[in-house]
């Protein structure tokens, strides 16, 4: 009977170890990993911000997008569009549009004449609006945020 008890204890130890080493991480990835409702709600709020639809008058209709990075849980929403104007005209446009929609410009850095990054509270966290381009005639206006309150610009 003593040998049987040792085998039962060994089997129990092995089963518990297997659950802890394999089951717990697998459960995390199945039930906890990645973006969820909280991030989806933030993406929806950011995508609905009027500044993303406020492109310069001469711009073509943009291609909106939104999503979430499953690894880092940062959320993004933006638009890409064709524009033949200058970088300065894009920045001037977004400075005016962003301020009209409650965004604040971050201080100018280095050799910038106008900031290309703006902040605003959206969905209970600080969101960051950045503007890139025009590069090869394309402008990208994007809002990025996360619930960890990272600084995106």
Residue pLDDT, tens place only, 81-119: 999 999 999 989 999 999 999 999 877 677 765 567 899
In the structure, what pLDDT confidence band is assigned to residue 30 with cuts at 50, 70 and 90? very low
pTM of the model: 0.73
CB neighbourhood size of 22 (10 A): 10
How many Å apart are CA 79 and CA 142, to the nearest integer?
6
Q: Does residue 129 contact residue 122 with C-beta atoms inside 8 Å?
A: no
Integer Cα distance of 30 and 50 in angstroms:
36
Task: State the pLDDT at residue 24.
Answer: 44
Mean pLDDT across the stretch 55-84?
93
Higher pLDDT, 143 or 16: 143
Q: What is the pLDDT of residue 29?
A: 40
Could you tell me the sign of the dihedral formed by the alpha carbons of 81, 47, 125, 119, in that order? positive
Nearest one of 145, 146, 56 to 97, comparing CA atoms: 56
């Amino acid at each position: 009977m003593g040998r049987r008890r040792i085998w039962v204890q060994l089997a129990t130890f092995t089963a518990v170890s297997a659950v802890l080493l394999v089951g717990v991480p697998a459960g995390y990835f199945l039930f906890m990993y990645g973006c969820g409702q909280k991030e989806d709600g933030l993406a929806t709020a950011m995508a609905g911000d009027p500044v993303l639809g406020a492109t310069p008058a001469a711009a073509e209709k943009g291609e909106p997008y939104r999503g979430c990075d499953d690894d880092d849980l940062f959320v993004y929403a933006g638009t890409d569009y064709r524009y033949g104007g200058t970088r300065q005209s894009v920045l001037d446009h977004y400075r005016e549009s962003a301020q009209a929609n409650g965004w604040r410009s971050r201080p100018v850095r280095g050799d910038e004449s106008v900031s290309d990054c703006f902040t605003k509270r959206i969905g209970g966290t600080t969101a960051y609006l950045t503007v890139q381009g025009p590069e090869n005639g394309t402008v990208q206006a994007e809002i990025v945020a996360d619930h960890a309150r990272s600084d995106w610009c």
